[in-house]
Chain A
Amino acid sequence: MADPAQNPVRQRNLLSVLGLIVIAALFVAVVVLSNQLFRSSQVDLTEDGLYTLSKGTKEVLQGIDEPITLRFYYSSRIAEELPDIGVYAQRVRDMLEEYARIAGGKVRLEIHDPQPFTDEEDLAVAVGLQGVPIDQGGDLVYFGLAGTNSTDQQQIIPFFDQKREAFLEYDLTRLVYNLAHPKKPVAAVISGLPVSGSPYAKSVPGAPDDSWAVWGQLKELFDVRELPMTNAVIPDDANLLLLIHPDKIDDRTRYAIDQFALKGGRVVVLIDPHSEVQASDPQMRRGPSPNIVAASNLPKLLKAWGLEMPPGDVIGDAKLARRVQVPTQGPVKTRVAAIDYPLWLALGPEEMSQQDLVTSQLSLLNLASPGHLDPEKGATTTFTPLLWTSAEGGKGDLSLAQQGSTQILEQTNTFKPDGKYTLAARIRGPVKSAFPDGPPKPPMIDQLEKAIANAKEGEDTAKKKAELDAETKKWDAAKAAHIAESKAPLNAIVVADVDFLADGLWVRVQDFFGKKIAAPYADNGNLLVNATENLSGSDALISLRSRGVFQRPFTYIQAIQRKAEQDFRQKEQELVRELNQAEASLKKLQTQVKGDSGVVLSQQQKDEIARFREKAVGLRRELRDVQYKLRKDVEQVTDWVKLINIAAVPVLVAVFALVLALVRRNMRRHANRAA
């Protein structure tokens, strides 16, 4: 065998092959090393820094006192079967590692890959993680997080749903925050809406939980105590009072709220001149339909706090109107029309205060027939608007709103914009009691007094007198404890809408293998959570809550649609009027003909009927054409967009190539001739 060293070609080949192997090894080494070394080196080019840990997260992580353990369960099989989720899992893992790094040893991260039928899988199931079948074999995979603190309290994310990717940081930080602050603040809630679930679901064991998504969010953040609408006693340890649609509240509860606020308590008030949720639910509405009364207000308290919500006004906005589908009963059969309904508002950042932590990071809020708030003259508090309409806001007709969805078209047609309205406000400052005479007289005293006065002769009223004495003493004590002026400035946030809390306006709740997964598409839930959290004193989480719920819609196409829709409505109204007139005339003529013994029609009558029929047919056609044009305007834009992006530049390149070829040919000819 020849020695390769003696054959220069073979030696060169061998060296080259070795060189290739070294290059491959070097490449793999560089990739592996960089994966280890550069875990937190990235430039985030997204407008809102979607992938950069926010200040709030860093504050939470640096403020941890007792160590926290995070166990990240991730079945590596997911990446093999579902590469998309694999990429997401890598992001989750990177983020968790970043958390551990920033927390400086206070967060310990463990990574587990639970294989089927192992102890690790049992552990994952035991902590409450959600196993998901990935193939027909029935093996389960896991992609979740379990965190524990030093007192063995546990918080979990059962399965990282990719739909919540934009909220990943919030979900993780909240989990860490909850573990670092195991004692939740107390929120007292008085609600006229079934936010915590319907009475049926609450009373029947085993009935599905139908609480609203926002309720779940509140319960994660607060120790929630539900209070009745009447005779409510606000617990001493309550950090916050939340009033949702207080429509049947009594004077004693009002007094309790007044005194709570004066003691420096924090209050979130949600009221509404017309709650669509209540009006549309036969279980909830208080009156027969139509003319449903579904309003709530706190005029006495609000007046004392320096603001009011005029009860008869429902606010709409032509510019912020949401598009809804409504069946219209026109002369051209029933059709489903998409119209901009001014009483359903989609507020963008321009309609939210960018200076206030509660609203500055929200991108979209959906409200339904809200009211408006006005500051009182000479108020001692500051009134800071948080949400408002555009300049095209206006008052809608409350009576039409009360009619419900059947009147949407009428509502749309009668709506007249007349300026900006405040829809939510922050109230701060010293206030006086709304009850200058002290606590209201307990009704029990009146009852007892009446009973004693009306007692028949010889009847023993001693027991009643004793009761009256006791009640009077209690009242006297309450009078003595009465606070007439605020001890600490009032801190309240008032929103003139309650419907925004309902799931239908902001979140899709899906059943994911038996677990409820909420995928919000608007910030409604965040508004309430921000408001409650802000008032209960924890600002750190607010800065990162609403990252990334962006809809970046094609605003240009929307504007065209809106314009076309307006034109269509106008034209439709004109044509329908004409058509109705024509049809009425035709009907009249036909009745007349039948009435005139109806056997022979005069030529004139026949001509007249034919003319009306023709007119009616023509008008119907015109109406169809207008309707067709509505879609055509948008189609035209999209056709242009397609043409420009698919064909325009290729055609230009082809023309350029052709011109270049011709120029070259000419140059060659000239060169040949010259030669």
Chain B
Amino acid sequence: MVKYTFKGGIHPPYNKWTTSKPIVRLEVPQTLYLPLIQHTGKPAKPLVKRGDEVKKGQKIAEADGYISAAIHAPTSGKVKTIIEHPHPVLLTSYPAIVIEADGKDEWFEEPKERPNWQESSPEEIVNAVREAGIVGLGGAAFPTHVKLSPPKEKPIDTVIINGAECEPFLTADDRILQERPTDVLWGAFLIKRALNASKVYIAIEDNKPEAIKKVSEVLKDFEGFELKVVKTKYPEGAEKQLIKALTGREVPRGGLPMDVGCLVQNVQTSLAVYEAVRFGKPLIERVTTLSGDGVKGSGNYLIRIGTRFQDVVDMTGGMTEDVVKVINGGPMMGIAQYTLEVPVIKGTSGILLFTKKYAKTFVEYNCIRCSKCVDVCPMGLLPLMLVDYIKAKRFVEAKEKYGLLDCIECGSCAFVCPSRINHVQWIKYGKQELRRLG
């Protein structure tokens, strides 16, 4: 079989310890924290105030503007307050609706099958997705209804369902593909329908044989669908790399997948689209991988959005005493947390707890120009030159001569660097300075 791939990339230890652990539904915690921003774009506007009674699935914050997403109550209870609370992505506190659960877990509107959902019009699909507050669940959290409404002059012919899941440790998408392949494909069917696309590719890395098997078993029922086994390599699941690997098309610099007629959606997003369109179910829970050597009950859990990391850990068997690092997301692109108070939000694909064994800290050594970073860069950049220019505060030149803004911050360069240079940190700083310069 042809295995699709891209140029560059790395092979970190994958440590997919939880591949064979079925998805387990986690209890609803006593208190849930729902930050008003859980997506790319403008924060949502709260529709509730302190003391309000809310029901499960009730919209508690509405999208504010086009690029924004609604938020729904994950369970029934009372709005305790709206307060600044630690945020897992912003790394600062941000206003969050705090809900005190009443334990009844009553629906505002019980999800029920819509008649003829398979014949939904593109408008109906996009509408259902918007109403459900769905965002990209792979981590970037871009509002899905926006992606499903490309401008007319940029028609999309190819939908790619991204099941590569190239981040080490994470297995949530893998499990979903193993357990609910048909539902994921129905979601892809609806996405394809919304866009009037002709092809759907399901991309899965070859280190997930079970998922590949399950998907290929149900695939034949879907017309225009194709399973594409991609090489296990990081960052195989990066949007631009995946498009290049599967279609040979290159997203132009500074452009978007729709510029080359493609749309990439994560497996779990596809599932959420399916549930929203067929049952009208809002996005109030997601599957997240809990893993790392500091975790006692590692596994894949269906968690209500708003559940604190602390509650996730407590409800699954706790953690070891010597945990020194907590990550929201995968080890390559995830964000280190200073507290377990942060809640699971829509984009939380993984919660990793590491002891010293994995959470090593390094001191930067002089660059010896070994060029490993050049060899692995999936974007064809020269990371060492970028760092050189950024250190010299030559941000504009870094952008114009060395493509600073083309960096996707996948971290492959920093991973391989024998001098332990923090390329990604430097590059993030460089981009920030560039923005400041205007």
Q: Do A and B come from one complex?
A: no
